[in-house]
Amino acid sequence: MKKLAYGLSALACAGLLAASATMALGTRSAEGGDDQGPPVSPDVRHMLNDVSATNIEDSINTLVSFGTRHTLSSQTDPNRGIGAATEWVYQQLLQSAAASGGRMTVEKQSFVQPPGPRIPVPTTITNVIATLHGTQPESTGRTYVVSGHLDSRVTDVLNGTSDAPGADDDGSGVAAVLELARIMSTRHFDATIVFAVFSGEEQGTFGSVNFASRLKAAGTNVAGMFSNDIIGSSLGQNGVRDRRDLRVFAEGPSPQETPAQAAIRRTMGGENDSAPRQLARFVREAAQAAIPKMNVWMIYRRDRFLRGSDHLSFLQQGYPGLRFTEPNEDYRHEHQDVRVENGVQFGDLEQFLDYHYIANVARVNLSALAALANGPAAPSGVKVEASTLTVDTSLEWQPNTEPDLAGYEIVYRDTNMPYWQHTIPVGNVTSYTVKGITKDNYLFGVRAVDKDGNRSVVTFPVPK
C-alpha cells in the first residue's frame, strides 16, 4: 500500500513541476509585474507531494462516523459525539508529534463556556492544539496558526443529538490540518506553527475566542492565522464546478483602528494595505509558485454575508487572520438536517466532497506556511519620508535580527493594483531612496529576504 501511494505521488510531482514551469510565466507576465515570487525548495516540493487526498478522505470518514460533533453532544460516549471526536483528533496529532523529534507538543485545552444564546448550560469546550516549535532562536517566538473547527451542526443550532455529519463544515478543514501536521511535524522551521482544531465554532467561535485571547495574554506574536472552514466542495449551488479557485477572505481597515491610525491610513491611501491583505498577497504568491494550478482568489471582506469563522477571533485580538473557503457554496449542504425534500438531498454529507480539491487547498496552506515559517519576519518600524516635497521616495526601517538575513527589497505597485508589481533589491541596509519615483503615484512596501531567498510578508509604511 505504501509503495503504491509513493508511486502515485511521484507521478503527481512530475505533473506539478511541469505545470509550474509553464503557468508561473504566463500568470506573471499577464500581471505586468517583475516580482519573482518565493523560491520553492525541493523539500517543500516533497511535502506538497506527500499531501494525500486518500488520507484526507479517511479522516473525514472517521469524523463523520462520530454521528454528531455538536458542541452540546456527548463528551463521554466513546463512539458518538464531540468527546469521542476530540479524543480521536488528539490521538492523530500525538502520532504526528511522535515523529517530530520532540519539536511538536500536543495538548487539549478545555474551558467552561458560560450560558448564552447558543449555550443553554455551562459547557466544557475543548480545543486540540499541536505546536511545532521553531528552531531558530530569533524566530521561534513568531507564530503562525492554521485551523479547522471540529464541531458540527444541523438546522437547529441547539440540536446536539441528531446526525450532524459536518463533512464539509468543517470535517474538510480539520482533515487538512491533520494532514499538514502529519507532514510538517517531520521538518524543521525557523518560526513556530500551531495546528489548531477548535470547538464551539458554530455556537459562537468560542474555542478560537478562548485560544486567541490566551495567545494575546501571553504576548505571543501571531504573525498570521488561516481558518480553513468549508474547503471541501468544488461544486456550488449555482451549478459551477471550480476546482482551481480558493477564496481567501482578507479584512481591510480594522474596526479597532484608532482615529489617529485612521488619519494615517487616509494620508497613505492604505485602505487596501492592512496586515491581513499583506498576508493574503503573500499566500497568493507562495501558492502561485508552489501549486500554480490553484488560484488564490483574494476577497476584500472579512467574511461572507451572515457568516463568520475562527479568524474573526484573531482579528479581534489584532492578529492578521484569513479565512480560506471553497469558491461556490451550496447552502443545502451546510447547517441542514440530513433529509430528502422533493427529491433533493439536504445535509453536510461526504458524497458532496471533492477530496482532490481539499488536498490542493491543503497544499496552498502548506506552501504559505512553509514560506512564512522558513522566511524572515516582516520588517518593523517602516516609515516613508513625508515631511518635504520631493520627487523621490525615501524609506527607512528597523534591522531584522535573524542571523541568516540577506537584506531587503522595496516593492511597489500602482495605487489601483491589487498585487505588488515591482521589486527593488536594496541589500542589507535600513534605509533607501528610490530616485525619481514619487510616493504620490505608487504604493510602497518593504520586505526582508534571507540567504535562501525566502521573503517576508511586506510591511506597509507609515509617514515619518
Q: Which residues in this chain contact Zn ion in the complex, by CB under 5 A?
A: 169-170, 229
- Unique residue bearing C-alpha cell 506527500: 50
Q: Can you say whether the dihedral through the CA atoms of 126, 127, 130, 131 is positive or negative?
A: negative
Q: What is the DSSP string of 163-227?
A: -B--IIIIIIHHHHHHHHHHHHTTS--SSEEEEEEE--HHHHSHHHHHHHHHHHHTT-EEEEEEE
Q: Give which of 396, 394, 400 is closest to 378, Cα–Cα.
A: 400
Judge contact between 163 and 75, C-beta under 8 A.
Answer: no
- Rounded-to-integer distance, Cα 241 and Cα 342, Å: 23
Judge contact between 317 and 266, C-beta under 8 A.
Answer: no
Judge contact between 9 and 1, C-beta under 8 A.
Answer: no
138-165 core/surface letters (b: 16 or more CB in 10 A; e: else): bbeebbbbbbbbbbbbbeebebbeebbb
* DSSP assignment letter at 139: T
Shortest CB 428 distance to Zn ion, Å? 44
Q: How far is CA 54 from each of CA 102, 103, 331, rounded to the nearest angstrom?
A: 27, 26, 26
Judged by beta carbon, residue 229 or residue 242, the one nearer Zn ion is 229
Judged by beta carbon, residue 149 or residue 455, the one nearer Zn ion is 149
Shortest CB 311 distance to Zn ion, Å? 11
Judged by beta carbon, residue 190 or residue 348, the one nearer Zn ion is 348
- Unique residue bearing C-alpha cell 504559505: 368
Shortest CB 419 distance to Zn ion, Å? 28
Total Cβ atoms within 10 A of residue 268: 18
Shortest CB 325 distance to Zn ion, Å? 9
Shortest CB 200 distance to Zn ion, Å? 11
- Unique residue bearing C-alpha cell 534591522: 399
Q: Give 341's contacts (C-beta < 8 A, 6+ positions apart).
A: none
Judge contact between 75 and 121, C-beta under 8 A.
Answer: no
Judged by beta carbon, residue 321 or residue 445, the one nearer Zn ion is 321
Say whether 351 sits in a helix, a strand or coil. Answer: helix
Judged by beta carbon, residue 153 or residue 363, the one nearer Zn ion is 153
Shortest CB 116 distance to Zn ion, Å? 18
Shortest CB 331 distance to Zn ion, Å? 13
Judged by beta carbon, residue 229 or residue 330, the one nearer Zn ion is 229
Q: Which residues pair with 450 in a beta bridge?
A: 405
Q: Give which of 125, 108, 128 is closest to 116, Cα–Cα.
A: 125
Shortest CB 244 distance to Zn ion, Å? 22
Judged by beta carbon, residue 170 or residue 190, the one nearer Zn ion is 170
Shortest CB 318 distance to Zn ion, Å? 23
Judged by beta carbon, residue 163 or residue 396, the one nearer Zn ion is 163
Shortest CB 209 distance to Zn ion, Å? 15
Judged by beta carbon, residue 163 or residue 170, the one nearer Zn ion is 170
Judge contact between 96 and 104, C-beta under 8 A.
Answer: yes
Shortest CB 335 distance to Zn ion, Å? 9
